[in-house]
Amino acid sequence: MLRDALQGLRVLDFTQIAAGPTCTMLLADMGARVIKVEAPEGDLGRSLGPAWVGDDSALYHSFNRGKLGLCLDLKQPTGLAVAQRLVAEADVLIESMRPGVMERLGLGYQAVAQLNPALVYCSISAYGQEGPYADRAGVDGILQADSGLMSLIGTPGAPPCKVQAPVVDVVTGYMACMAILAKLQARHRDGQGGHLDVNLMNSALALQQSSITSYLRDGELPTRIGSAAPYSAPNEAFQTEDGWMMVAAYNGNRWERLCAVLRHPEWASDPRFASSAQRVVHRAEMQEALTAVFRTEPTAYWLDRLRESDILCSKVADYSDLLEHPQLASNGMLASIEHPRHGDLRVPGFPVNSLEAAECPYRPAPDKGEHSRELLLEAGFSEGEVDELFGCGAVI
């Protein structure tokens, strides 16, 4: 079963907010034992709201399910000693500090590799571990701007706009998970760990693979075109009598079928619209002609007519529409997590389905330091030692 594929894998998570926690959440979803190590002030993501689940933000709960919570003061020698003891037995360590911080704390790669040469150590940062911007901090919105991604988003003449979902953070988490799994596979061959550099800048560029390649080819800066695709048409949202819908009818004979459905078969032979490339050039004229017809009937009417002709289309849904989507339940993507204090929490679940067996339930995101005592006892500390660590504030 996919959800227990990483059972036995021991992961230390020194990350916060979104990118790193996305990676460790995915590892936990696949069965890894993930220990979320927080400073006394806790993960900054806990305070980023609304919405709220008790005193913590919904954002924190969305990225931290399945983990065990340990709260350490790494600035105290005894707190560092606890971390080093856990590192010695771990398979993976993931951190998202600014480059140099883990070294100053005594947990940089060179130091921990002496304790555990087989450790896979993944550093997640804004710009990378080396280079002129390595010391700069950055968050999702900054990297959307700095990578050029923001220049693609929005409509002509409108202010700069970003994707509201933290797409750069999330894709960086997925990149980190992929890199860790690849490195673990390599470790099966040679027994060696290593240091992985995963950063938001590279991930943001990867999101723009086609746009950057096009610019490198022709030197033409992309322009903001709203919902449209720069390389095909029609492949964009159109206004109807009561809303908006997305239509993709650019390939094969779908354009001809769309013209027939709209009762304008002559558009199919119009030289301006003869191919997708021509329709891209004459997009404004095409949009004007199609919108005039689409606005005569409600969205549901057009969706039925277009689907009957095998034309790709969808209502532009909001989240209330999404929760009624019939495929959501079929895919099992909306997960219910039973929290001991807050009841049923619903979040998007693990995005890959395992068809061989029923999936196991999710563990809720941990409270700050929720499992500290349990984890220390499990690591071999005595009850007296644990009491001393709590007493001096090294563990919370």
Q: First-to-last CA distance in the chain?
A: 35
Alpha-helical segments (H) within the chain: 19-29, 58-63, 77-89, 101-105, 109-115, 140-146, 167-190, 200-207, 209-218, 254-261, 276-281, 283-294, 299-308, 319-322, 326-331, 372-378, 383-391
Calpha distance 270→285 (Å, rounded): 12
Residues whose CB falls within 8 Å of the CB of residue 15, separated by 6 or more in sequence, listed in order: 21, 23, 24, 94, 95, 96, 124
Residues whose CB falls within 8 Å of the CB of residue 320, separated by 6 or more in sequence, listed in order: none
**Catalytic member of 56, 91, 146, 169:** 169
Q: What is the DSSP string of 316-370?
A: ---HHHHTT-HHHHHHT-EEEEEETTTEEEEEE--SS--SSSPPPPPPPPPPTTT
User: What is each CA distance from 127 to 115, 140, 149, 163, 172, in whole angstroms?
Assistant: 28, 12, 15, 20, 11
Length of the chain: 396
User: What is each CA distance from 117 to 92, 176, 225, 289, 301, in whole angstroms?
Assistant: 11, 20, 51, 65, 63
Evaluate whether 375 touches 89 at the Cβ level (below 8 Å). no
Is residue 91 annotated as part of the catalytic site, yes or no? Answer: no
CA 170, 172, 177, 181 dihedral sign is positive
The catalytic site residues sit at 169
